[in-house]
């Protein structure tokens, strides 16, 4: 199985990954969630072989069986959509009729056929991410690594991208993607929440919900400000061990509540 | 304090033959957080630029803080663009004094969470902290109305909660807040939502009002990979949701037909659509017309 075991990465004095273990089984999507600086890109780049580990091990296929969409560009601005695909396909030895068929298939799936002759520089953000995705998957990789494929992408293209990602998994690829959006993580078979280089929680959404201990209440006046956060006009408050005071409204926590509550546990531990 | 902080009445804007905004009426009142949703090209940015007086209306009228959106009224507005508008080569304190002087306001007092970063260059700070600084800069002159463009995108959940706390505090003090976004998590923090598509305001109210009667279809089967392949080959907008399959913009009966033809046993059931799926349906309808 692909993944990293007890991976640790240091950049100077910063611990970018701290004892992180993630498995990426074939035929499923694993989503890595976290904000800016959580360690998502470092984890992905460690799997691609772009970042050496200071500790732990990486299990990844050889380059020719690996597909990678980096967080930036992922395509050449001065080439057309078709030229971008052909260039990458050439690196993997795809040519002739096989390339023509594969290119047509991928362009069609990504709804990019009408834009095949357009310069990548002149694509919308969503179209450019879809092109990057096609280039990452043109050689049918066994492990597909996608760094924030949907960031800055409009909602309609985002649905297109999810369909393409799902399709890759349904045809057997192991997919590891990062995202800053929790609703995307909910959709993945497995989610991994990273916070300052450490795993805050992982598992399927159902497992994460089932494993969450404590109670979340909804209130206008939180009792302990350091355990409360905003949700719309009201605030939510986390009671990790003790029961909440009588008369408070208990809510069923969603993924956002769970991730905030666990982040607060870590932060309040650090402070105390 | 005026009764309505931003108002558009039957506003239309054309660029040549193209109608970017088509007969839109909306308003933002003091103390409310209104989310403006729409796919790229739906007309959100054009509407906001008219509300702020940055471009003229073709027909209809706009009002900012009780009058035309002129320079004087724009001074009473706080705006945080997606790019944040900070200087990366200046420290937090330098950025704040610069923007305070531009607005003729007193320099804001740094909250405890930012004091440690006061003399750090903005470009060296995490995105969540940068966003807090941008908010502080935009709020120094006590604006009566706030316009925020995807205010929490890219930051972790705690930083996002802190930003929403700042936004809510402004609203509680009477500011009207207009948030443009296409993210569910941000939409769910708003009091009221407006959905634009193809230049028109097509729905407003709660999340449920926005989704309306649009449904998606959930397909449950033990053979998800086969089912996925069959539905995908039939051209349905399919995606995985855990080990289940979700299809936007499709009829359950048609999907059942496809699955039956492929010999796959599955349950097919309509479920409420997400806001994104609603936008997909609207975009497909607009393309078809």
Quote the tokens at residue B71: 């320079």
Indicate yes or no: CB of A188 within 8 angstroms of CB of B280: no
The one-character DSSP state at B227 is H
Phi-psi group of A84: left, alpha or beta (phi > 0 → left; psi -120 to 50 → alpha; rest → beta): alpha
Given a contact cutoff of 8 angstroms between Cβ atoms, the answer to whether B197 and B284 are in contact is no
> Would you state the pLDDT for residue A25?
94
**pLDDT tens string A233-264:** 889 999 998 788 888 899 999 999 999 999 89
Average pLDDT over residues A4-24: 95
Q: Which of B156, B239, B242 sits opposite A35 (nearest CB)?
A: B156
CA distance B72 to chain A (A): 31
- Residues in chain B closer than 8 A to A169 (CB atoms): 240
More confident residue, A8 or A74: A8
**Whole-number mean pLDDT of chain A?**
91
Q: Where are the alpha helices (DSSP H) in chain A?
A: 40-48, 81-91, 96-109, 125-137, 155-170, 182-187, 205-210, 255-271
Residue A154's pLDDT band, with cuts at 50, 70 and 90, is confident
Alpha-carbon distance of B276 to A156, in angstroms, equals 7
Q: Which of B39, B126, B279 sits opposite A37 (nearest CB)?
A: B126
Q: Which of A160, A183, A231 sits opposite B184 (nearest CB)?
A: A183
Q: Where are the alpha helices (DSSP H) in chain B?
A: 44-51, 71-74, 92-103, 112-115, 127-139, 157-172, 184-187, 207-211, 224-233, 252-261, 275-288
Give the residue from chain A lying closest to B247, CA to CA: A163
Give the residue from chain B lying closest to A236, CA to CA: B161
Q: Is the pLDDT of residue A12 over 50?
A: yes
Residue A211's pLDDT band, with cuts at 50, 70 and 90, is very high
> Would you state the pLDDT for residue B289?
64
- Residues in chain A closer than 8 A to B112 (CB atoms): none
> Would you state the pLDDT for residue B1?
47
Q: Is the pLDDT of residue A23 over 50?
A: yes
Indicate yes or no: CB of B185 within 8 angstroms of CB of A267: no
Give the residue from chain A lying closest to B40, CA to CA: A154
Give the residue from chain A lying closest to B189, CA to CA: A232
Given a contact cutoff of 8 angstroms between Cβ atoms, the answer to whether B171 and B31 are in contact is yes
Residue A203's pLDDT band, with cuts at 50, 70 and 90, is very high
- Residues in chain B closer than 8 A to A267 (CB atoms): 158
> Would you state the pLDDT for residue B155?
80
CA distance A71 to chain B (A): 12
Alpha-carbon distance of B66 to B77, in angstroms, equals 13
pTM score over 0.80 = yes
Query: A-B interface: how many C-beta pairs under 8 angstroms?
Result: 128
Q: Which of B159, B238, B274 sits opposite A163 (nearest CB)?
A: B238
> Would you state the pLDDT for residue A270?
67
Low-confidence ranges of chain B (pLDDT < 70): 1-2, 288-289
Assign B104 to helix, strand or coil.
coil
CA distance B157 to chain A (A): 6
Quote the tokens at residue A240: 């990790």
**pLDDT tens string A36-65:** 788 999 999 999 999 999 999 999 999 999
- Residues in chain A closer than 8 A to B158 (CB atoms): 229, 260, 263-264, 267
Alpha-carbon distance of A85 to A123, in angstroms, equals 14
Phi-psi group of A3: left, alpha or beta (phi > 0 → left; psi -120 to 50 → alpha; rest → beta): left
């Amino acid at each position: 199985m692909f993944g990293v075991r007890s991976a640790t990465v240091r950049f100077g004095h910063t611990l970018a990954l701290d004892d992180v273990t993630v498995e990426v089984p074939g035929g499923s999507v694993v989503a890595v969630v976290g904000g800016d600086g959580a360690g998502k890109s470092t984890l992905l780049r460690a799997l691609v072989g772009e970042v050496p580990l200071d500790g732990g091990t990486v299990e990844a296929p050889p380059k020719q069986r690996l597909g990678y969409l980096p967080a930036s560009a992922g395509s050449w601005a001065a080439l057309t959509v078709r030229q971008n695909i052909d260039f990458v396909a050439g690196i993997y030895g795809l040519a002739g009729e096989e390339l023509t068929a594969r290119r047509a298939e991928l362009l069609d799936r990504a709804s990019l056929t009408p834009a095949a002759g357009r310069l990548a520089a002149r694509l919308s953000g969503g179209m450019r991410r879809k092109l990057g995705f096609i280039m990452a998957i043109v050689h049918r990789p066994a492990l597909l690594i996608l760094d924030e494929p949907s960031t800055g992408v409009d909602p309609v293209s985002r649905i297109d991208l999810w369909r393409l990602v799902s399709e890759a998994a349904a045809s057997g690829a192991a997919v590891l993607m990062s995202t800053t959006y929790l609703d995307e993580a909910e959709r993945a078979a497995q989610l991994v929440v990273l916070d300052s280089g450490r795993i805050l929680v992982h598992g399927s959404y159902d497992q994460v919900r089932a494993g969450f201990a404590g109670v979340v209440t909804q209130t206008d006046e939180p009792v302990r400000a350091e355990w409360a956060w905003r949700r719309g006009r009201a605030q939510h408050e986390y009671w990790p061990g003790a029961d909440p005071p009588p008369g408070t409204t208990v809510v069923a926590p969603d993924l956002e509540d769970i991730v905030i509550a666990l982040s607060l546990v870590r932060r309040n531990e650090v402070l105390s | 304090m005026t009764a309505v902080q931003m108002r558009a009445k039957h506003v239309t804007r054309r660029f040549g033959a193209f109608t970017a905004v088509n007969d839109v009426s909306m308003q933002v009142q003091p103390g409310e957080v209104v989310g403006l949703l729409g796919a790229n090209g739906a007309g959100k940015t054009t509407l906001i630029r008219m509300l702020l007086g940055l471009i003229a209306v073709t027909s209809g009228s706009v009002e900012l803080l009780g009058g035309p959106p002129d320079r004087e009224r724009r001074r009473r507005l706080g705006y945080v663009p997606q790019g944040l508008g900070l200087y990366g080569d200046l420290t937090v304190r330098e950025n704040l004094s610069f923007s305070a002087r531009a607005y003729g306001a007193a320099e804001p007092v740094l909250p405890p969470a930012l004091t440690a970063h006061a003399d750090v260059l903005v470009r060296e700070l995490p995105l969540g902290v940068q966003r807090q600084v941008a908010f502080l800069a935009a709020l120094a002159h006590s604006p009566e109305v706030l316009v925020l463009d995807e205010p929490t995108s890219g930051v972790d959940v705690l930083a996002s909660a802190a930003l929403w706390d700042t936004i809510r505090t402004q609203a509680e003090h009477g500011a009207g807040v207009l948030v443009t976004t296409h993210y569910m998590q941000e939409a769910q923090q708003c009091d009221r939502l407006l959905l634009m598509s193809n230049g028109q305001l097509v729905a407003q109210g709660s999340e449920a009002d926005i989704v309306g009667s649009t449904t998606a279809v959930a397909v449950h089967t033990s053979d998800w990979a086969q089912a996925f392949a069959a539905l995908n080959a039939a051209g349905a907008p399919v995606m995985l949701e855990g080990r289940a399959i979700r299809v936007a913009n499709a009829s359950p009966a048609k999907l059942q037909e496809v699955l039956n033809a492929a010999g796959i046993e599955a349950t097919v059931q309509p479920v409420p659509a997400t806001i994104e799926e609603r936008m997909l349906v609207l975009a497909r309808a607009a393309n078809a017309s």
